[in-house]
Amino acid sequence: MIELTDTNAAAIASEFVRARKKAGSPAMGMVMTMVVVVDEDIAGDVMAVARHASHEHPARVLGVILGDARGAAQVNAQVGAGAGWSGETALIRLKGEVVKHPESVVLPLLLPDSPVAIYWPTDPPEDTANDPLGALAQRRITDAAGAKRGKGKAIHTQCASYTKGNTDLAWTRITPWRALLAAALDQHHFQVTGASVTAERISPSADLLGAWLGDRLKVPVTRKNSSGPGITEVVLETKEGPIGISRGDGKLATYSSPGHPDRPIALKRRDLPELLAEELRRLDEDDVYAETARKLVKMGRKA
Amino acid sequence: MTYTNPLRDPNDRRLPRIAGPCGLVLFGVTGDLSRKKIMPAIYDLANRGLLPPGFSLVGFARRDWADQDFAQVVHDSVKSYARTEFREEVWQQLAEGFRFVPGDFDDDIAFDQLRRTIEELDLARGTDGNHAFYLAIPPGFFGTVVGQLKEHGLADGGGADSWRRVVVEKPFGHDLESAQELNNVLAGVFSSGSIFRIDHYLGKETVQNILAMRFANTMFEPIWNANYVDHVQITMAEDGGIGGRAGYYDGIGAARDVIQNHLLQLMSLVAMEEPTSFDAESLRIEKQKVLSSVVLPRRLDLTTARAQYAEGWAGGQKVAGFLEEEGIKKSSTTETYAAVTLNIATRRWAGVPFYLRTGKRLGRRVTEVAIVFKKAPHQPFGESSTEDLTENALVIRIQPDEGVTLRFGSKVPGTAMEIRDVNMDFAYGGSFTESSPEAYERLILDVLLGDPPLFPRHEEVELSWKILDPILEHWAKQDAAGKAKPDSYESGTWGPKSADAMLARDGRSWRRP
């Protein structure tokens, strides 16, 4: 890692080239630029998550720390390649007036031609697509469960400002649940008459799962509370009997369906690098998330 | 009215395909294939959430084991060979579904017990009568086993909605006649759509990428023909010897073991026309067209080569020659290296030879396809400036170090105009997931889903034998007449002189892979 103080984008860019040459100009095959907007206190952890995710998607990872916006502008950066990264990385600290213009530092550092993804691990702007940094990216990833302020409302705020390219990790977390439920209805061609989702009191994932089921099945979905962890039970009511998946320990679930014995199924809560890697696999619009977000906003209005 | 699942949406590409309720019956549980490939692949599939709840695995072998002993064998194999991390909850999901049936392949009582086991699983685990029979056993036993399956009512499921499938591994016979016999045996019991032949090469990401590279891009297809391509080299080299497989290998040889299946499949993917879609049927039609347009050269003595490895130093270790290996007769004429020249009689490929070679104890373990292009028809640069420039080449590296290399000429920096070969490299592992699924994971999942595009059909197998049979007969005739024997090559080198001579006659040379 090279420390650059009171620097600018051009100096950071030439440091990238220098680091690459020093490593013997290896073919990097970087497929995207990933911008991570992060607070100073968790920067280390979040960059570690990005490093894991970059194993699957070699990327130029730009961590951006937005500091105090008062005072004279200053750009400091740590630049490096290698050391566990499959691409290049820079952690950029902004202070003073430049905090209001972070895109001016990031724009010259985007890789040519390839896509840009941006990730807010904690509190994202209310409308990410109209954020100066968010506007540079075609994929914007938020994490409602990571919100420090107004956690109960975070997913609703994001869904209300939904723009093409947005997704939330709360949605990623329910992929295995959705896969199992869809597979259940591949098997049982039953008419679903109602559904329920049981989870911790505040669970953005449970809200999305309920909205998805309501949107696809056109049935009322009941939301019940439990002590968690995360989502603990989903039930689809049918005339033939309930189809249910219940998971008490966040690891091993029980799958039950009419006319069949109950069976265990592994359904582990996944960690952040895995979730982020899944998000980066698709860089185009997630149509199903778009519909689900719309449904969630509609449900919120009625309530 | 057809049922549409309200939770499925073609736009919802996050949702993986999970196999429906089903089980797998594994014959030959003690073999390397089962322990090193099949069992770990099953665990990895479960770990990725792609196996249905209640998935069951039944082992069948001549061992005095209880269910727990079998579970222990699977556990050990998963711990040593699985690609993904071992997680207790995944193991718990699988463990309740392990069953073991002891018995011989001709033991009626054992097959009765197998049927009862499957029926018990349908009740206790909800496998709904869907079972695949994986024959990880020598092909000599296929007849007995499928006969038993039929006799004991195991070959067709209980209900109209349930399925029974059979999975077999190469070799698919040792010539056209035996391949047809084998197919008759299988087809007498299972319908052709229920027979899955595994050529694990077709499950490899890089092999599937050949199709993506050719047909999803614009820049390769226009030059993918005899106007621009000089010749194609397909190489599969192994650094190891025959190991403990003398019994299997003697009498089979490199051509039957590798060229008949892997290399001819690779060749048909490289040479085929664009399929109308990527379903199994369209792919098969195109592959079949290529295989049936293959023409052998007239003089097989000049256009093929065969050899056996001699003792030597391979990678810093002294190794024995083929004829000194345990279980191999001194008089064996089985080849451990085979190279053949094939022509494809189509407008696209007329005049472009395809050179296929494979061998054991070669320089290193590598599989690649090299498309070698013609030299530029005119050089504005003087002869001395292009001395170091060879042909342009596109190399598809199948394994290891999967990727694509493009070789072309570039100016050497300096005042003189000097042009030299440079390589442009795409490393698969560098741009995509570092842990791409094993070929067996993909193929086993496809069997359970009933998705056949990646499995060769018996028509392809028979066409491949039609290509290879005349060459094998020619070699057998040479042996019988005592005229020629397989050449020999030093272990750890890139094959016999006769193979080099074979290309030299055409004014070409083998690439060093």
SS3 A16: helix
Report the residue of chain A nearest B54, measured CA to CA: A263
Predicted confidence (pLDDT) at residue A28 exceeds the cutoff of 90: no
Question: Is B5 close to A266, i.e. CB distance below 8 A?
Answer: no
Q: Which of residues 23-62 of A touch B (CB under 8 A)?
A: 27-31, 55-58
* pLDDT given at position B161: 78
Pick the range with the lowest mean pLDDT from A24-33, A147-156, A205-214, B334-343: A24-33
Contact A134, A163 (CB under 8 A): no
For chain B, percent of residues with pLDDT exceeding 90: 48
Q: How far apart are CA B3 and CA B29, in angstroms?
A: 39
Predicted confidence (pLDDT) at residue B401 exceeds the cutoff of 70: yes
Contact A97, A73 (CB under 8 A): yes
Contact B461, B439 (CB under 8 A): no
For range A129-143, the mean pLDDT: 94
Question: Strand B312-314 to strand B403-411: parallel, antiparallel, or no bridges (unpaired)?
Answer: unpaired
In chain A, what is the greatest distance between 2 CA atoms, to the nearest angstrom? Answer: 71
Residue in B14, B46, B89 nearest the CB of A251:
B89
* pLDDT given at position A86: 65
Q: What is the DSSP letter of B106?
A: T
- Work out the angle between the directed axes of helices B264-271 and B280-292 (0-180°, nearest 10): 100
Q: How far apart are CA B259 and CA B291, in angstroms?
A: 13
Contact B46, B94 (CB under 8 A): yes
Contact A142, A120 (CB under 8 A): yes
Q: How far apart are CA B472 and CA B49, in angstroms?
A: 46
Residue in A55, A185, A216 nearest the CB of B434:
A55
For range B163-172, the mean pLDDT: 88
Q: How far apart are CA A57 and CA A51, in angstroms?
A: 10
Predicted confidence (pLDDT) at residue B434 exceeds the cutoff of 60: no
- Which residues in B lie closer than 8 A to residue A182 (C-beta atoms)? 5, 7-8, 15
Among residues B212, B229, B202, the alpha carbon closest in space to that of B355 is found at: B229
How many CB atoms lie under 10 A from the CB of residue B246? 17
Question: Is B15 close to A266, i.e. CB distance below 8 A?
Answer: no
* pLDDT given at position B24: 93
Q: How far apart are CA B183 and CA B422, in angstroms?
A: 48
What count of CB pairs under 8 Å joins A to B?
Answer: 119
* ipTM greater than 0.90: no
Report the residue of chain B nearest A57, measured CA to CA: B432
* pLDDT given at position B383: 80
* B263-289 core/surface letters (b: 16 or more CB in 10 A; e: else): bbbbbbbbbbeebeeeebeebbebbbb
How sure is the predictor about A114, in pLDDT bands with cuts at 50, 70 and 90? confident
Among residues B202, B270, B212, B259, the alpha carbon closest in space to that of B235 is found at: B259
pLDDT, tens digit, for every residue of B31-58? 888 998 999 999 999 998 899 888 999 9
Q: How far apart are CA A32 and CA A15, in angstroms?
A: 19
Residue in B124, B125, B431 nearest the CB of A29:
B431
For range B390-416, the mean pLDDT: 87
The answer for residues whose C-beta is within 8 angstroms of residue A48's C-beta and 6 or more apart is none
pLDDT, tens digit, for every residue of A52-65? 887 777 888 999 99
For range A174-202, the mean pLDDT: 92
* pLDDT given at position B414: 80
How sure is the predictor about B4, in pLDDT bands with cuts at 50, 70 and 90? confident
pLDDT, tens digit, for every residue of A229-250? 999 999 999 999 999 999 999 8
Q: What pTM, to 2 d.p., does this model score?
A: 0.85
pLDDT, tens digit, for every residue of B95-141? 889 999 999 998 999 999 999 999 999 888 888 889 999 998 888 88
**Is the CB of A185 inside 8 Å of chain B's CB atoms?**
yes
Q: Provide φ and ψ at A205, rounded to 5°.
A: -65, -40
The answer for residues whose C-beta is within 8 angstroms of residue B131's C-beta and 6 or more apart is B22, B23, B24, B25, B118, B154, B157, B164, B165
Q: Which residues of B are part of the catalytic machinery? A: 262
Question: Is A56 close to B432, i.e. CB distance below 8 A?
Answer: yes
Which of the listed ranges A85-99, A159-173, B192-206, B393-407 does the model predict with the highest average pLDDT? A159-173
How sure is the predictor about A186, in pLDDT bands with cuts at 50, 70 and 90? confident
How sure is the predictor about A283, in pLDDT bands with cuts at 50, 70 and 90? confident
